[in-house]
Structure 1
Amino acid sequence: MIKERRRIIIDFEVLSKANFWICCMKDYKTQKEHTIINDREELLRVFNKNKDSVWVGYNIRGYDQWILKAIVAGVDPCKVSDMLIEHKVSGWKIDRKLHKIPLYIFEISDTYRSLKELELFMGEDIRESTVDFNLNRYPNNKEIDELVSYCMHDVKMTFKVFEQVYYRYEAQIGLIEYFNLDSSMINKTEAQLSSYILQAKKPNYERNDTKDFRIIDTLNLNKYKYIKNWYEDYNNRDLKNI
């Protein structure tokens, strides 16, 4: 069952010009931590041991999964990182080899807040690296130590965020099991999974009815009545003008 699979918090730091990468990870259940520094063989060992595990990360869907897949597939992760960050290319467009790497992922990012902002809200130390990510030489030992500390700090903070939003993970797993879906559906966003279950399809015509909703009479907002008043103005319902 997918709910019993190992959950691993993961984060990558890549210095493209230095041809250097770091991977830090933490087991959600045992809380055991592990760091891999520019060592593809070690990453392959961990990956092959955990092919059925669920990899959890902040922005793992947009970045970390593609770095992991690149290393496993023998594709230069530094070039992939550049394509993702500098050229804003979606990971699935970069190399077909990446699609052949099976991976179960769970994204915990907040659309409106960065991990650093969430760290601030949780009262945690906001740690930044003084090492230049545009470094054009291999980092020295002191710089590597700082990068490892920075990367593992992000993993620990992601772990704490995951604890707070674990109900989302359980809900995702619950839907997959209830509707007897393939385990790979864990990779879907909440919206994508809901759409699949409901068999929702994009209409082949333009929808212009977003403003046409009724505010029910039994709605009790108390001190928040101003919200209802705001929506009663049809001009405020046009999301294109907000």
Structure 2
Amino acid sequence: MLFFDFEVFIKDWLVVILDMDNRKEHVIINSPSDLKQFYQEHKTDIWVGFNNHHYDDYILKGILCDMNPKEINDHIIIKEKAGWTFSNLFRSIPLLSYDVFQAKIDRGLKFFEGSLGNMVKESSIPFDIPRKLTEEELQETVKYCRHDVEQTVEVFMQRKADFDAIMSLIKMFPEVLSIRDIGLTKAQISAKILECEKVRRNDEFDLFVLPCIQIKKYRKAIDFYMSMVGKTNQKEVYSESLNMIIAGLEHNISWGGIHAGKEKYQNLGHGRQIWHVDVASFYPRLMIFHNLLTRNSKKPEKFKMIYNRRIELKHAGKKKEQAPLKIVINGTYGISKAINSLAYDPRNANLICLNGQLMLIDLIEHLEVIDGFELIQSNTDGLIVSLPDTDEAFEQMDDICFEWEKRCNMELEFDEISSIWEKDVNNYVFIFSNGKIERKGAYVKELSPLDYDLPIINKALVDRLVKGIPIEATINGCQDLKEFQMVKKISSKYDCIMHGGHWEKHKAINPATGRLKTFTRFVGNTKRLNEKCVRVFASVNESDGGLWKIKKDGSKAKVEGTPEHCFIFNDEVNGVKVPRQLNKQWYINTAYDRLSGFGICEGRR
């Protein structure tokens, strides 16, 4: 397996390749012949990069085809065109490439470097130098490029389970997949396994409600969807939504799943029983048992076979073996909604969404007859409900749910919750009766090595909610600097990041009125940073200014969520202890601000 990264300048190019099987590094600078020889020796290896499917693959193929890599670079970066559109010759170059970048969720390699606690540095050599690079400049670029390849290896290792799952699918379905498909996305792999062929249809809004759904009180939701039947304007239809009160909560009915939740809510279960009622494999069961799988699949029975096999493995406790199958099971709804997918079938995707929401509304309507029933949350494939703490209330809920399961051909899973704290439907913490903790939302989610931003705040909040540990005890007791890091990255619409200075208020005579007026002015010196991703910490030193993102027209805006006074530490932070410069009180105040979102107001200084 090879890990690689290209750097392209006006007059130069280079690539760093790490051969992980033979533990060797290869650096090729401005030598197409050396690259061609290396490629011939390694054309059957898997080439791994970060965002290489967008960029590096085409630079590699272009050089192998004796093209100017700078022209390909500008086609992709400046003209913002897909690399494959540059030349049809690219198709003649076989390449087994795998991309660790996940386009819909990733914030870039530099953000990962920051999250992992590694050095966050960018080359100081501009890519638009109109001359050949000096030997010193080339070596600095090699050093920078090597660092990025090493970081790509780290990200790959964090996500190796994804790679292993795709390799397993290739082995499971040799009739439709081969090693040449290693570079396909999970969505593309799923479409191939289901043997999809794209079909043009004009029935996107030929909608209907499944006959098993029995809604009387909340028929307004059915009427909303049925009002879309026969329409043709996608933009108009998908912008429509309906707000309605269901079981005392305002629900938003639209095309993205049902969502509603009590705000600033907490319940420690005293005198009540709280249940998480979850529909197992909701969308897959709609596809299988209500015939709503994408109609583009030539082998729909494959989906049911994969689903049944996954259930067998789940019951056998074989978690690792389930992973490949879950890619197909959980991803098929998404690809039926993706216009470029072979599985694209928007009508069936719409039917899954609307009937799924209506089934949950149906369940709520029937549960609402229980005396003392309280709906805490509705969220796409499940409910959180509260009942009086009596056997009679539970048995009534159980009977209603059993009838709903049989009627709708669904399966419900029940988990008792002992305590719950909910900011809103997207941010909550609850403890199951078996002691397991569920956390969701930016404020309280369990962070991963690739998403390690303000970890001390998440820990302080969860420890306060779940264990009753004071905010100050968690934050003041931590001496690991990495736990306090904020990793901030600006988008391409900004020119740079600047550090220093702050806005202050002052009073002066208004020349137009002659009256004393309060003005704001920016004071202090700022420094332009070479990096577009930085690791930031709150500072007790007032001489440390703020962090600003600068647009190409020179206007500035504060980088969101950063303190008025901060310092930057872009070197490796793993194992570094907290310096005196760190302003722990800022983190304490921030934690209290977030805690108040859960309806708990405590001492903020």
Higher relative contact order structure (alpha carbons within 8 Å, sequence separation ≥ 6): 1
Assess, with a 3 A threshold, how the Cα gap between structure 1 residues 129 and 99 changes in structure 2: closer, same or farther: same
Q: Aligned partners of 2:195, 2:423: CA distance in 1, in Å?
A: 32
Secondary structure at the residue paired with 2:413? coil
1:184 corresponds to which residue?
180
1:195 corresponds to which residue?
191
The structure 2 residue matched to 1:72, chosen from 64, 69, 84, is 64
1:86 corresponds to which residue?
78
The alpha-carbon deviation at position 199 of structure 1 amounts to 3.0
Q: Identify the range of structure 1 (181-190 vs 78-87) with the bigger mean alpha-carbon deviation.
A: 181-190
1:208 corresponds to which residue?
350
Q: How many residues align?
A: 223
Amino acid at match of 2:56: D
Q: Aligned partners of 1:224, 1:103: CA distance in 2, in Å?
A: 51
2:11–2:133 contact (8 Å) kept in structure 1: no
Q: Aligned partners of 2:130, 2:185: CA distance in 1, in Å?
A: 36
Q: Are 1:10 and 2:152 counterparts? A: no
Structure (1/2) with the larger strand percentage = 2
Structure (1/2) with the larger helix percentage = 1
Q: Within 5 A, what are the aligned runs for 1:120-139?
A: 120-139=114-133
Amino acid at match of 1:154: D
Amino acid at match of 2:195: Q
2:76–2:82 contact (8 Å) kept in structure 1: yes
Q: Aligned partners of 2:33, 2:420: CA distance in 1, in Å?
A: 58
Secondary structure at the residue paired with 1:144? helix
The alpha-carbon deviation at position 30 of structure 1 amounts to 3.0
Q: Aligned partners of 1:146, 1:186: CA distance in 2, in Å?
A: 33
Assess, with a 3 A threshold, how the Cα gap between structure 1 residues 221 and 89 changes in structure 2: closer, same or farther: farther
Secondary structure at the residue paired with 2:122? coil
Secondary structure at the residue paired with 1:136? coil
Q: Aligned partners of 1:161, 1:227: CA distance in 2, in Å?
A: 32
The structure 2 residue matched to 1:218, chosen from 410, 413, 416, is 413
| Structure 2 unaligned residues grouped into runs of 5+ | 197-342, 361-380, 383-411, 427-605
- Percent identity, please: 30
Q: Aligned partners of 1:50, 1:205: CA distance in 2, in Å?
A: 45
Alpha-carbon displacement from aligned partner over 1:23-49 (angstroms, at most 9, x marks no partner): 001012333111000110100010000
Q: Aligned partners of 2:83, 2:157: CA distance in 1, in Å?
A: 27
Q: Aligned partners of 1:221, 1:35: CA distance in 2, in Å?
A: 58
Q: Within 5 A, what are the aligned runs for 1:1-242?
A: 7-15=1-9, 18-111=10-103, 112-180=106-174, 181-200=177-196, 201-203=343-345, 205=347, 207-209=349-351, 210-213=353-356, 214=360, 215-216=381-382, 218-220=413-415, 222=417, 226=422, 229=425
Secondary structure at the residue paired with 2:146? helix
The alpha-carbon deviation at position 88 of structure 1 amounts to 0.9
Q: Identify the range of structure 1 (103-112 vs 207-216) with the bigger mean alpha-carbon deviation.
A: 207-216
- Stretches of 4+ aligned residues off by more than 4 angstroms: 204-207, 221-230
1:28–1:159 contact (8 Å) kept in structure 2: no
**Superposed CA RMSD:** 2.3
Amino acid at match of 1:158: T
Give TM-score scaled by structure 2 length.
0.35
2:4–2:48 contact (8 Å) kept in structure 1: yes
The alpha-carbon deviation at position 105 of structure 1 amounts to 0.6
Alpha-carbon displacement from aligned partner over 1:158-190 (angstroms, at most 9, x marks no partner): 111111111211111110111112221112011
Q: Aligned partners of 1:229, 1:186: CA distance in 2, in Å?
A: 37
Amino acid at match of 1:8: L
The alpha-carbon deviation at position 122 of structure 1 amounts to 0.7
Secondary structure at the residue paired with 2:181? helix
2:487 corresponds to which residue?
none
Give TM-score scaled by structure 1 length.
0.85
